[in-house]
Structure 1
């Protein structure tokens, strides 16, 4: 009998998770089916009770329910609790356990781009102070071999200061305004945009000027539509390495899949499916 998996959110019709996960089940000959469940806010509790009644084997959580889902779980992983958001739920013999694979998925993808470059020798700048910034910042800071410094810049520096104060790890961090970050860009080896600035359809926008970009720096953007944002295009033109959001999306999904099934999916196949889907959307 097929096990049921899925993603909950509102809206969720645009999600590419179903095609990615259902292909992974097929490739590994696993009896599983992944479905997108669009839940309107005033029906959230009833919907979650319904999923539990169906004995759903696991599900992903996307906007706007990554925080709200936490009060409906039996257990929450310590890092997810620190981040304050859950994006993956696993049904373990009727107990629903929450995890956050966003940060780990991002860091795994980032490290594959860095190749053998030592993360511990890197100074990192994170742009933004929202949920994605929190997941990436806390995961990097608590990583077994963390960067030597992680600074945050935000249009409202007070929000970055709050994030630094909440950080569970002991790591050097400073809060900067956008202007301060632009002026001191030459000190950063890795720059990570966690905001939505530059996402389709506002592709002419960039969160930061790169006038003082360090030679050999890596510029990363968690956006994957478009694959190359204005920020990444400019970084590329200045000779920097670039890293888009496809890796984070695929890896967070792969980590969730592994938690549900105890099997590692084919990462390359997952990435290829998403790239094809994005290319198809571009042609529509």
Structure 2
């Protein structure tokens, strides 16, 4: 969530579509609700994570009643196509887009519009197909590298007891690229 904030994106009072129901997706869903999201539509395949999404929905209904949460089957592309145009923020929290799935995107590019924020938790490749297509459509995009860096910042403080020199790390990464 810090990555979104650093990129000027707030979730309060916003409608959010989150793709996925694994560990990262669940954390994002909960934090969006705690940060005041108006609606969260969770889309996940009917797999072992789908019941987790339903359980998260129930918990959020009890603890964040002002946030309406729904769980939908990701394979229902018609429903996804109806929901994304109503959203303010679209978050991919699945492995789709990450190597070796770099040619995969879960959202048809025709659903992207200039006022939609599109973000991805995938950090390799740096720009996923979804991010590239959203950028072409004029969306504000936020890639997964910043999320990974912010996790590093927190972990450095927890395990080393010092603030991570993020600017130095980013400069080093740029030199290596």
Shorter chain as denominator, the TM-score bin is 0.7 to 0.9
Contact kept, 8 Å, 2:118 with 2:134, in 1: the verdict is yes
For the structure 1 residues 163 and 152, does the alpha-carbon distance in structure 2 shift closer, same or farther, using more than 3 Å as the test? same
Question: In the alignment, what sits opposite 2:38?
Answer: 148
Question: In the alignment, what sits opposite 2:17?
Answer: 125
The normalised TM-score by structure 1 is 0.54
Which of 145, 151, 155 is matched with 1:252 structurally? 151
Q: CA deviation at 1:122?
A: 1.6
Partner Cα distance (1:274, 1:229) in 2: 19
Which of 166, 171, 176 is matched with 1:272 structurally? 171
Q: CA deviation at 1:276?
A: 4.8
Q: How well do the aligned residues superpose, as a CA RMSD in angstroms? A: 2.1
The normalised TM-score by structure 2 is 0.84
Long gaps (5+) in structure 1: 1-106, 280-284
Long gaps (5+) in structure 2: none
For the structure 1 residues 190 and 275, does the alpha-carbon distance in structure 2 shift closer, same or farther, using more than 3 Å as the test? farther
Q: CA deviation at 1:274?
A: 4.1
**2:93 maps to 1:199:** no
With a CA cutoff of 8 Å and minimum separation of 6, indicate the structure with the bigger relative contact order: 2
Partner Cα distance (1:169, 1:275) in 2: 42
Partner Cα distance (1:177, 1:119) in 2: 23
Contact kept, 8 Å, 2:11 with 2:32, in 1: the verdict is no
Question: In the alignment, what sits opposite 1:213?
Answer: 112
Question: In the alignment, what sits opposite 2:136?
Answer: 237
Q: CA deviation at 1:254?
A: 0.4
Deviations 1:86-126 (A, max 9, x none): xxxxxxxxxxxxxxxxxxxxx0011111x2x5432321111
Question: In the alignment, what sits opposite 1:187?
Answer: 86
**What is the DSSP-based 3-state SS (H/G/I as helix, E as strand, rest coil) of the residue aligned with 1:228?**
coil
Contact kept, 8 Å, 1:152 with 1:173, in 2: the verdict is yes
Q: CA deviation at 1:239?
A: 0.5
Question: In the alignment, what sits opposite 1:110?
Answer: 4
1:167-186 counterparts in 2 under 5 A? 167=60, 169-170=63-64, 171-178=67-74, 179=77, 180-186=79-85
Deviations 1:239-273 (A, max 9, x none): 00111111111101101212334432222223333
Size of the aligned set, in residue pairs, is 168
Contact kept, 8 Å, 1:246 with 1:271, in 2: the verdict is no
**2:60 maps to 1:164:** no
1:37-76 counterparts in 2 under 5 A? none
Question: In the alignment, what sits opposite 1:90?
Answer: none
Contact kept, 8 Å, 2:19 with 2:43, in 1: the verdict is yes
